[in-house]
Structure 1
Amino acid sequence: MKLLLTSGGVTNPSIHAALERLLGKPVGEAHALCIPTAQWGHPACGPTSVRGLLAADSRWAHLTGLGWASLGVLELTALPTIGAERWVPWVRAADVLLVDGGDAAYLAHRMRESGLADLLPSLEETVWVGVSAGSMVLTPRIGQYFLEWAGAPDDRTLGVVGFSLFPHLDAFPTNTMADAERWAADLDVPAYVIDEQTAIVVADGAVEVVSEGRWAMLEPQERGRR
């Protein structure tokens, strides 16, 4: 897959250009599937926010409201009940998967349960656009700081990429750089800290930061030394 991992979506011209570079076509010619599933696992989300995402309300102008050629919904909780022979062709026909935020641990669980996680390696030309938890789910760990779903056995996620991600830098009082540094101290992988104007592009084995805002790269803490 080609990955566009964001905090707040496609929020500026630089990220928009990166998206179209990954797609190989204008957004208006690309067919998208929206995945709202992570919202169900987070206490701050629910029916109203899911509706806003799917209706491309102004709050989601930077994701579902970008003017896609078509926009469909892929609800992962339904997939185990309908069979892969139905939903896999839908995914393969899409140019892009728009994966919204919520709880990354819950999303990882549903991706494994539905079979979507196993399908990802075969989607070589598909673009994954993640927002917040929709980006974090592809990392190895999210840290206890972001673990909201009570059913999660631990903070491990899918590990598609080799780094962790701290989104929403400075967007909330509890998402400062100092908070990010405390969060990263418990991780054993590199971590990116990104604001709403920053994205991480992963394609062809390369990682690139695209930003019109603020970001940082935090290396893992040395362990076993005193």
Structure 2
Amino acid sequence: MKLLLTSAGVKNASIQAALADLLGKPVAESSALCVPTAVHAMPGGAAAAWRVISGQARTPLCELGWKTLGVLELTALPSIDADHWIPLVRETDALLVAGGDPMYLHHWMRESGLARLLPSLHETVYVGVSAGSMVLTPRVGEEFVEWRPATGGDRTLGLVDFSVFPHLDHPELPENSLADARAWAAGLSGPAYAIDDQTALKVEGGAVEVVSEGSWKHFAA
């Protein structure tokens, strides 16, 4: 997959240009599926899901002018025929994976079967927001575990070899300072990035490029 891992969506021209580059064509000529699942584990999740889907959230995804746009709700997938959704995912240009609770999202990515499908989607562009970015990493860190699976722990899909600390220095999140990010990274066993809401990580062919009009920090393993 081609990845655009963001803290808060396509917030600026640099991130938008990175998205167009990964797509290989304009957004207006591209199809997308929105995955709002992670937000359901948060307070007010139903209303937040509607804001994401309708393009009224503060994390731009669905409102970018896609040629076609659908909703892929992971909690529904185990109860329907795989032929109803897997071909659709395979032919879609971009998966827009909204934020919320990363461990809840990880649970449903596995339960739905999407986690098994992701590695085969070589040309698909995966756009993650916050938890949607974190779920692809090896670990989210105990600091970000609220909804806890029966198996416990903070391990996620591990489709990339680094972890992500989103919303760096966000004015509404005093616990997301650089000092907090540094302490979080020290508790992990691998490399990590702390990124603010004006930053994204563009991953293609195993190479990581930081796309930023804001602040970010890389922590070595």
**1:58/1:65 contact within 8 Å kept:** no
**Number of residue pairs the alignment of both structures matches:** 218
1:58 offset after TM fit, Å?
Answer: 5.1
**2:103/2:148 contact within 8 Å kept:** no
**2:8/2:58 contact within 8 Å kept:** no
Q: TM-score, normalised by structure 1?
A: 0.94
How far does the alpha carbon of each residue in 1:119-159 deviate from its partner, in whole angstroms, 9 at most, with x for none? 01110000000000000000000001001103351100000
1:173 offset after TM fit, Å?
Answer: 1.0
Structure 2 unaligned spans of 5+: none
Distance in 2 (CA, whole Å) between partners of 1:161 and 1:125 is 16
Q: Is 2:80 the counterpart of 1:51? A: no
**1:45/1:102 contact within 8 Å kept:** no
Q: Which amino acid aligns with 2:16?
A: H
Distance in 1 (CA, whole Å) between partners of 2:215 and 2:174 is 16
| 1:8 aligned partner | 8
Q: Is 2:169 the counterpart of 1:160? A: no
Structure 1 unaligned spans of 5+: 221-226
**2:12/2:198 contact within 8 Å kept:** yes
Q: TM-score, normalised by structure 2?
A: 0.96
| 1:29 aligned partner | 29
Change (3 A) 1:196 1:98: same
Distance in 2 (CA, whole Å) between partners of 1:214 and 1:101 is 20
| 2:102 aligned partner | 104
Distance in 1 (CA, whole Å) between partners of 2:148 and 2:117 is 26
Distance in 2 (CA, whole Å) between partners of 1:53 and 1:216 is 27
**2:104/2:148 contact within 8 Å kept:** no
Distance in 1 (CA, whole Å) between partners of 2:207 and 2:149 is 34
Distance in 2 (CA, whole Å) between partners of 1:80 and 1:35 is 15
Percent identity over the alignment?
Answer: 61
Distance in 2 (CA, whole Å) between partners of 1:136 and 1:23 is 21
Among candidates 78, 82, 85, match of residue 83 of structure 2: 85
> RMSD of the alignment, in Å?
1.1
Distance in 1 (CA, whole Å) between partners of 2:136 and 2:148 is 20
| 2:129 aligned partner | 131
How far does the alpha carbon of each residue in 1:26-84 deviate from its partner, in whole angstroms, 9 at most, with x for none? 01111110000011123x34111111111111534x21111111110000000011021
Which contiguous aligned blocks of 4+ residues in structure 1 show a shift greater than 4 angstroms? none
Distance in 2 (CA, whole Å) between partners of 1:23 and 1:96 is 8
| 1:68 aligned partner | 66
Aligned partner of residue 71 in structure 1, secondary structure: strand
How far does the alpha carbon of each residue in 1:1-49 deviate from its partner, in whole angstroms, 9 at most, with x for none? 000000011111111110000000101111110000011123x341111
Distance in 1 (CA, whole Å) between partners of 2:148 and 2:18 is 36
**1:108/1:137 contact within 8 Å kept:** yes
Distance in 1 (CA, whole Å) between partners of 2:161 and 2:44 is 28
Q: Is 2:3 the counterpart of 1:19? A: no
